[in-house]
Every structure is written in structure tokens, then in C-alpha cells.
Structure 1
Amino acid sequence: MEESSRNQVPRKPRILCLHSFRTSGRILQKLISRWPENVTGELDLVFVDAPFPAEGKSDVEGIYDPPYFEWFQTDKEFKEFYNFEECLNYLEDLMLKHGPFDGVLGFSQVAALPGMQKEGVALNKVPNIKFLIIISGGRFGGSKFGLPKLAAKAFSSPVGCPSLHIIGELDFLKGESEALLNYFVDPVVIYHAKGHTVPRLSEEDGEKMLQFMRKSKYHCMKSRI
């Protein structure tokens, strides 16, 4: 092995961070900044805004300042989706511009990204997603959400990339989040006592996330050999 290779400092896993419905990248950054520094310090986190201005009231109004954004539009029951393909194209452009990324962190529907990428209907111009961190997860086609055409086969086979699922005991999506675990191979789970939010991490939770990240970092490094 060459001297330069032995002395090279391994880079931190680069993670694309996608905010929740009608919030913003800045808000997600503030929430994640509450995590222990020994966790966030091991990650290269990139926060972005969704492509569309929020078309309705945000649940964080009065807590966090606007502007607020949404990734795509839906009807009130979250059964019909609009501008979904535009959202996927926007994500791909972000990955090309700011990547390459090792993983994706986000709420709910990020769970479908590896499956859509595997099926060849999205993110074809960027490297495969190597791991997911899913907060308050949900599944397109589950009990709470409709099924966009492009995501029809996202969960037709078990999702093999490493996944960390953060689930709130009081989250209205708790049942959906737990059902989502069945579609992933060897999912790692962190439970917290709050609802539909980015929780603070206990010392035990932080160590569990670090273990997940160390394993994922190994896989990232191995894939580049």
C-alpha cells in the first residue's frame, strides 16, 4: 500500500437531509443540531429545501419562521399526488450538484427512494443510495398514503440497503412506521417518547446511531475499493 493511501483520512459519510412536509432545510438543521456532537460530528450533513412553496398551512407556524416548502403536492387525504416526477428530478439534480452522497436522511417517503432507484424509475444518474435514516417512516401504498405510479414497485422486494428507523411512541404514524420495518432487511430501530418530530437523542440512542453509522461507513468505504 502506498504511503499516501495509508495516511489518507477517511471522509465522513455525506448525507442528503430532506425536511418534512411544509417545513424547510433550515428547520431540519436546527432540530438535528440538538443531537449529540459526537454523533453529528461524524457526519457530513447537507440540508436543502424542497422545490415547491407550501400551498397550505404549516404545522410549525408560530414555532419556526417561514418560508416553508413541500416536495410535491397532494390532496387532503394524501391519496393523489401531483408534481411527483418533478420532485424526483429535482432530487437527482441536487445529488448531481452537491454529491456524491452516501445516504439520505428524511421523513416518511424517503423510504421509497432505494426501491425506485433499483427499479430504474428514479435517480438513474447518481450512485445507488447506500443507507437510509428514516424519521417517522411511512410507505407509499400503506394505510395512510396513496401510491404514485412511479413508486408502484418500490417495495416489491425487500429493501437491502442499511436503514435506521426513528419512531415516536406518540407519533400518529407509529403503526405505519412499524409496518414499514417489514420491507427492509435487518432494520435498526430507535424509539423515542415524543410524536411526529425529530427527537433529541439519549446517550443510548446516540451510541446506537453511531454503531449504525460506523457499520454504514464501512460499507461505504468497501464499495469504493
Structure 2
Amino acid sequence: MDLLVLFLITSTLSMAIAPGTASETEDRHLLFLCRYFPWLWCCRYGVLGRVCHYTKECRLFLGNTVCSGGRCRCAPGYDQISGKCVQPKTIDDPCTSDQECMATILDGICNPTESQCACVEGKVEYNETTCGEPKTIGDPCTSDQECMATILNGICNPTESQCACVEGKVEYNETTCGEPKTIGDPCTSDQECTATILNGICNPTESQCACIEGKVEYNATTCTGNAVA
């Protein structure tokens, strides 16, 4: 049965439906119609793709639709998900199903605890519509966002296409880049000092970069030789 005929039938039946928002009314129209006419095409296969003449024919049964090219389709700015037309989701947007997030977010999922779009387990947010593998220094990359997601002061080196430290920073560990240290600089870990000081260490008593035991300061970034007794 053509949607135009269904439109006329439902327009009459809709008087028996309680008022509500446009979206709620559209849903009730379809539920009411399918309760009594379950054999109808729109009840068996959905509205999208069905032949139509006017947009109202589509919207009477499904919100956020238009009649375009003689077929019911999702309106501009909406995506088809599970037979409905919904707005594209980004990370942290509210959601009720994984499909809502997966439609526009690579490796996205609907976090059941927070009811928000998030990355699937084991992936990290590159940007609001992309989740991917966590990166470390030296990993291959195609964009800065891939490296910045898990590397402090990280960047994608365009020459080598590998994650690296931004200019002026040095590698403390595989996920941290920081200021170059010299002997006497404040520190919180050995890695900060060893990144730029040969035989350096973070003195836990003074929280300053120093030479490891048995070595002496040769210059600001080098400890060498043996300490004189």
C-alpha cells in the first residue's frame, strides 16, 4: 500500500492518539498503525526507502525524514541507524545504543555506565570522531592527534612518520616528553635527568639532577670518571 494512502488512514486514526512532541507523535502513529495493520510495508520493513510523494508522508511515520527523489530518506544532517534517522554522534555525546556512536565514531561505543559515546576498550581518543591504538615514542603515525592522545608533548614527525617529542622537548620515557635537564635542575624521576645527562640521576634527597654514585660532574650534561676519595 502506498504511503500516501497510509497517510490518509493514519491522519484519521491519529485523532485517537494523545498529544505529545512531534517525535513522540510520529512514533505513536507508527505503533498505532502497526498494531492494527502489521502486514503493512512500513511495519514490516520500515519507512526509509519507501516510495513517497510528500515529506509529510514520511514524517508521519518516522521523524527527521524527507521525501527526496521519490523516496523517504533521512533529512540532511541525520544518519540512518537501525531504521531511524539520528544526528551524528561525537565522543561524550549522550547515547542509548552502541550503533548511535559506531555510525560516526571510528571504534566508538556507548558507555553503558555514563550513557555517553566513548572509545571501545583498549582504544584512546584521537579526536571527537576517531579512536585508535595508544601510541608510544617511535610508533608509526599519520597525524599529531594519534601521538598526542597518549604521549605528553608528543607529535607525529612528518619526515619519519613516527611519534616523537615536540621541538625543544626530550624523551623521558615512551609516553613522556619534557624539558631538557642539566645537573642541579629540579626533578621528580631519574628519567628526567638520564634523558640529557650522561650518567645522571635524580637525587632523591635534594630532588635535583646529579651524577650517579661513583661519577663526578664533567659539565652540565655529563658525569664521568671516578669520584676522588
Asked if Structure 1 and Structure 2 have the same fold, meaning a TM-score greater than 0.5 normalized by the shorter chain, the answer is no
Greater Cα radius of gyration, structure 1 or 2: 2
Richer in strand (by share): 2
Q: TM-score, normalised by structure 1?
A: 0.22
Richer in helix (by share): 1
Greater relative contact order, per chain length (Cα 8 Å cut-off, separation 6+): 1
Q: TM-score, normalised by structure 2?
A: 0.22
